Chains A and B, each alone.
Chain A
Amino acid sequence: MQILSAKNIKKSYDGTQVLNGISIEINKGEVLAIIGPSGSGKSTFLRCVTQLETVDSGEITICGETLVKNDAAGKAVYSDRASCVKIGLHIGLVFQNFNLFPHFSVLQNITEAPIRVLNKSKEEAEITALALLKKMDLSDKANAYPCQLSGGQQQRVSIARALAMNPDILFFDEPTSALDPELTGEILKVIRSLASERMTMAVVTHEMKFARDVADYVVFMDNGTIIEQGRPEQIFENTQNERTKAFLSRFNED
């Protein structure tokens, strides 16, 4: 079953083409890794499918529901607001900078949306939240505040916060880029364990080894276009494109 289908997505900022016809599909239970140099449009693509940005043209369908499609003139037309909100509930997003709510405790960070948005009872939301915290190995931090946690712990809370909404697909926007190198491991471990549970995920990452080990499918982007895509073995061991080769060789140096 197809969870995400994006077709020919185009977007420009002030005349600069940031996404130049991106098409990506993700099936249920798959893990997609999006790699590429800074400024290649990877994050912008995630921001478009999570509705933090709008596209200029193209088609996005999530869980069979159309978020945006082209009109006869080839210009993007979004669904009505209620549908967009509903489609947004299928997805979760983990940010590079966590974006936890600093005035809420760890527990409230996780329960607030299920209570206010999904109308769950406080008890039910807290049971789910505590189970997620246990899974994230943070049971003892339920009553702590974000500022009392390490970056890695904050990022695990933000993953729990996203999972509490029970999304059909979880997006990660460079989830380890704001962390000290010794803390990236704990986040990658969490994503690996989610992958082993067949959680559908799309991860924008600079961690090549991780992409190679965990992803079912890898997309290499540069200058707003997909340069190469395929299974990880194919991309990393049998690289076809010169630009992909040049990009990957920089990671292999160290």
Chain B
Amino acid sequence: MNYQMLLTQMLEATLMSLRIFFVTLIFSLPLGLLVAKGRMSKIAVINLPVRLYILLMRGTPLMLQLLFFFYAFKPLFGIQLDRVLAAEVAFVLNYAAYFAEIFRGGIEGIPRGQYEAAKVLGFTRKQTFFRIILPQVIKHIIPPMGNEFITLVKDTSLAQVIGIVELLKVTSNWVSSAVEMTPLVIAGAFYLIMNGIVTRCFTIAEKRLDYYR
């Protein structure tokens, strides 16, 4: 077995997994916040479509959504998304729905008195949200966010259903052709290292925000 070739391919595939991971986070976190706001809106025209979107994203398999954006987008909308873009769109939309519900839980957990104090002091709604509410929300949602980030690292492996060569795809190629288990062990170690780093980051963030209750 050519270990150098194996490792090179696995590292390259890991970069693809990481790319999907970071692109998903960069876009789905702000989008999730926006969706959370829509979900909490009292205006039915905003609230109802947002609820439907969250239901669709959380109620169907992510793998189905990946297949949809790669294969069904062209017949429906006339545009063919390339594999990676289709994967990124599916991941962003899927994770934004989960993040939205986490944000919503965090925002609704802030006592009403915080809004009232801010209002009486003359803060605008925007200032109140970004300076007073959101920083407190972030502290409260760190544990559930940690779960999602870890799940996302592992979920990137689903991208192989639309032919993307990510870490687990390369691994299974090697395992099936070489009839050897080493790649599985290496892949496991790679995922563990990535999630070890994610966990460490969350521990640090939690510690940093520990200065208040």
Contacts and interface: CB of A to CB of B under 8 A. Distances in A.
A103 B135 CA distance: 7
Interface in B58-75: none
Given A112-B131, A145-B212, A99 B122 contact: no
Contacts of A165: 121-122
A102 B136 contact: yes
A113 B122 contact: yes
A51 B158 CA distance: 52
Residue among A50, A89, A103 with most chain B CB within 10 A: A103
A223 to B, nearest CB: 25
A99 B113 contact: yes
B47 to A, nearest CB: 23
Given A146-B212, A147-B212, A101 B117 contact: yes
B5 interface: no
Interface string A153-188: 000001001100100000000000000000000000
Contacts of B136: 102-103
B77 interface: no
B132 interface: yes
Contacts of B116: 52, 95, 99
A79 to B, nearest CB: 16
Contacts of B122: 85, 88-89, 113, 117-118, 165
Contact of B120 (A50, A101, A145, A147): A50
A140 to B, nearest CB: 18
Interface in B120-136: 120-123, 127, 131-132, 135-136
A128 interface: no
A92 B117 CA distance: 10
Contacts of A146: 212
A100 B121 CA distance: 11
A201 to B, nearest CB: 15
Contacts of B132: 101
Question: Which of A100, A101, A161 has the most chain B CB atoms inside 10 A of its CB?
Answer: A101
Given A101-B132, A145-B212, A93 B127 contact: no
A112 B130 CA distance: 13
A239 interface: no
A101 B127 contact: no
Interface centre among A89, A113, A162 (most CB of B within 10 A): A113
Interface in A39-88: 50-52, 85, 88
Chain A CB within 10 Å — which of B120, B136, B213 has the most? B120
Interface string B199-213: 000000000000111
B114 interface: yes
- Could you say which interface size class chain A belongs to? 20 to 34
B139 interface: yes
Given A99-B114, A101-B114, A103-B139, A113 B121 contact: yes
Interface in A124-146: 145-146
Nearest to B122: A117
A16 to B, nearest CB: 20
A244 B211 CA distance: 48
A81 B160 CA distance: 54
Nearest to B113: A99
Contacts of B212: 102-103, 145-147
B113 A116 contact: no
Given A52-B120, A88-B122, A103-B139, A147 B131 contact: no
A20 interface: no
Given A145-B212, A162-B121, 17 more contacts: A50-B120, A88-B119, A92-B120, A93-B120, A95-B117, A97-B113, A101-B114, A101-B132, A103-B136, A113-B121, A113-B122, A116-B123, A116-B131, A118-B122, A145-B211, A147-B212, A158-B117
23 contacts: A51-B119, A52-B116, A52-B120, A88-B120, A88-B122, A89-B122, A91-B120, A92-B120, A95-B113, A95-B117, A99-B111, A99-B114, A101-B117, A103-B212, A112-B121, A113-B122, A116-B127, A116-B131, A118-B122, A145-B211, A147-B212, A158-B117, A162-B121
The 10 closest A-B pairs by CB, nearest first: A99-B113, A99-B117, A113-B121, A117-B122, A147-B213, A93-B120, A145-B212, A102-B212, A103-B135, A103-B212
